[in-house]
Amino acid sequence: MKDGNDTDFPALPAIPGKKSARAKAVRPGPTTTRAADYAIQGFIYQFNKTLLAILDSAEDAWVVAEGVIEDIDIHEPMVTKAIQCKYHETQETFVLSLVYKPILQMLDHFHSNSEENIEYRLFAHFPPKIWDGNYPLTAEQIEEIFATTSRELVSYTERLRGKVDIAKFLARFTFEFGPSMEQLIARIEAKLTACGFLLDDVPTLIYPNAFHIIAELCTRHDPADRRVVRAELLGRLHALKTTTISRWTLALRTAKDILHARRLQLKQNLARNVRRRSFLISETAASDLKEGVVVFMSDYLAKYHFKAAHTEPPMFCLDCDEPLFNEIRQRIHEKGIRFADGFIGSKFDVTHFARVPFVSPARDRPAREFSIRLLKYATDPKALSTPKCDDLFVISTKVYPELDLTDVNEERLSTATLAQVKYVLGVSDAYE
């Protein structure tokens, strides 16, 4: 049961657990990397179960992702179904004490809301498949739970022992052993195919986008903004033509396949000689940004801006602080890349920044006045649209509402590393 109505899911990979008593914050570090990975897998499992619940829901039902009562609240005309997910992939055996707390949390909510028509479901995955389907929890086992001496649970047991209607609760409670992650995803993909999506599109287009939508819903603060109905979700999926690359979709075990699909989708536009392209890269976008951004620019130029036919210099806009920008600018100079930054003395001049570079008449490798435009975002955000590009690649998890995206093809690539960006853009064949 939730200790508060809202939960924060920060961007991967530095992902803490839920801001509640049932999952303490975990940040990757020398001693917590494995624990953080398990926490991430737990979120992925919950999001997948949420997605499946939406796909299985009735036409007149609505679902709250990261619900108010439980992880998933399914509201039907006559009943509300509250589902809590638990993922114990590394647990070698199952003992009831592992789920004392979620059962007590549900009992506590039931005790305060016994007149409401709410069904409670504990959906838990354990590797050993001891039982198929549902676990038959008994009144005797509830009494066993009440007898626990755990300090963490004493507030529940003292409040509920001898006061809650156990028989009535059990009539509304189901304990289901969930399938493995792979089996759960297979169920979702089968359901999406049954909804009319092409079988070949489901693994790398429809399913990753659906998963991303659920993950994004769960990060929203207001429960009203986490509400979704089946028809709405399917409508959004039918309208999408490209695979979403985000920290969440790249946390899936099919990340390489997802990146490859996105690479193929971008290939046609990237093959065009005359195409005005801009890159907006935030300082926190990738773990290797500071070390790798100059090589990224250099490799991009070697792939897409070296022929006489390549007449449009790419723009690289960095959303970072002044010291880092100056360091990168110095490194670009040392790398031998000629750039226009728009500065005349200490003053930024957007007209000077947007000027067309002079190019010598050499046929094969023309000498260019400059090969890239380099901009610090805070200097003048409007300069990012001067001149307006054909393609804007946003390598960031941030939202930039001030951008003018009219007649611009925006491509969001929220990857974990610049190496992944280079792979998607076809600059490199190395995935990592």
**Cβ atoms of residues 254 and 47 within 8 Å:** no
Residues 6+ apart with CB under 8 A from 31: none
- Taking the C-alpha atoms of residue 303 and residue 263, their distance in angstroms, rounded to an integer, is 15
Residue 410: per-residue pLDDT? 95
- Taking the C-alpha atoms of residue 323 and residue 354, their distance in angstroms, rounded to an integer, is 24
Residue 18: per-residue pLDDT? 37
Please provide the CATH number assigned to the domain covering 254-424: 3.40.309
- Taking the C-alpha atoms of residue 301 and residue 347, their distance in angstroms, rounded to an integer, is 27
**Cβ atoms of residues 70 and 1 within 8 Å:** yes
What does the pLDDT look like over 316-359, one tens digit per residue? 999 999 999 999 999 999 999 999 999 999 999 999 999 999 98
- Could you tell me which of 13, 413, 426, 52 has the C-alpha nearest to residue 242? 413
Looking up tokens 């109505």, which residue turns up?
5
- Taking the C-alpha atoms of residue 194 and residue 143, their distance in angstroms, rounded to an integer, is 44
- Could you tell me which of 381, 410, 414, 382 has the C-alpha nearest to residue 277? 410
Q: What is the per-residue DSSP string for 192-238?
A: HHHTT--TTTIIIIIHHHHHHHHHHHHT-SSGGGGEE-HHHHHHHHH
Residues 6+ apart with CB under 8 A from 326: none
Exposure pattern of 360-390 as b/e (b: 16+ CB <10 Å)? eeeeeebebebbbbbbbbebbbebbbbeebe
Query: Looking at the chain, which residues constitute the CATH 3.40.309 domain(s)?
Result: 254-424
Q: Mean pLDDT throughout 236-251?
A: 93
Give the predicted TM-score (pTM) of the model.
0.85
> How buried is residue 59: exposed, middle or buried, by Cβ count under 10 Å (0-12/13-18/19+)?
exposed
- Taking the C-alpha atoms of residue 181 and residue 48, their distance in angstroms, rounded to an integer, is 8
What does the pLDDT look like over 356-392, one tens digit per residue? 999 877 666 668 899 999 999 999 999 999 889 999 9
Residue 297: per-residue pLDDT? 97
